[in-house]
Amino acid sequence: MKIFIDNDILLKLSCMGVLGRIETLFNDNVSDIYYLPSLPHMLKGDKKIKQNHSLLTINEALSFINNYSPIPDDFFSEDLVNSLSEIDDIDSGEQILFSINLPFEEFYILTGDKRALISLSRSNLTEIQSRLKGRIICLEEIMLKLLPHIDMDNLIVKAKTHNFCSDKVLKICLNQTAVTLQKLEECILSYLNELKKESINLFI
């Protein structure tokens, strides 16, 4: 099984100190984990990333991707990229991810770009929607999978230290008064269900 990770979700997992758990979470080999070709350049030179994430987060992300691979050109369709480029709120990175075309292989796309998911779901690109349905995994789903296996208090401290990794849902859910594991899971699940309703064509 292959795993394709967008830049935003990779940085947020790095920020929380859980990026290295991706392999065990999906019972996968690091050789089957792929990142966008633009990622190394963005980590080293993007001003917005440097504003939103600490040097430690960026360096940890750079360290981890040494074990991963950039997405090869033959894994995605340029024709699909061109079709997606006409849809609002789907940036160049998501265009590549949503154009992954491996008909005989199992794969998942890890993305934190909710606007792109909603735009794709509301578009007329039914072929892409059908091919990706059940293959999209968002940050909220990953968090729900991880929470039973990580130190929640440590996660909260780490997130607060790094401005909740520049994520609205993390800030709201982790910043609750007297937060418990149950309250945290319920909060994240509510946002996940909302996203699924708005992107119904992409989730099972």
* pLDDT tier for residue 112 given thresholds of 50, 70 and 90: confident
The answer on pLDDT for 105 being more than 90 is no
Q: How far apart are CA 143 and CA 117, in angstroms?
A: 18
CA distances, 195 to each of 85, 125, 151, 189 (Å)? 22, 19, 26, 10
User: Over pLDDT 70: what percentage of the chain?
Assistant: 99
The answer on pLDDT for 28 being more than 70 is no
pLDDT in tens, 136-154: 999 999 999 999 888 998 9
Averaged confidence pLDDT in the chain: 91
What's the pTM value of the predicted model, to 2 decimals? Answer: 0.91
User: Over pLDDT 90: what percentage of the chain?
Assistant: 60
Q: Are 147 and 173 in contact (CB under 8 A)?
A: no
The answer on pLDDT for 204 being more than 70 is no
The answer on pLDDT for 104 being more than 80 is no
What DSSP designation does 68 have? S
* pLDDT tier for residue 23 given thresholds of 50, 70 and 90: confident
The answer on pLDDT for 162 being more than 90 is no
Average confidence (pLDDT) over 74-93: 94
What DSSP designation does 72 have? P
* pLDDT tier for residue 114 given thresholds of 50, 70 and 90: very high
Helical pair 55-65 and 7-15, crossing angle rounded to 10 deg: 120
Q: Token pair of 197, please?
A: 């309703």
The pLDDT assigned to 199 comes to 93
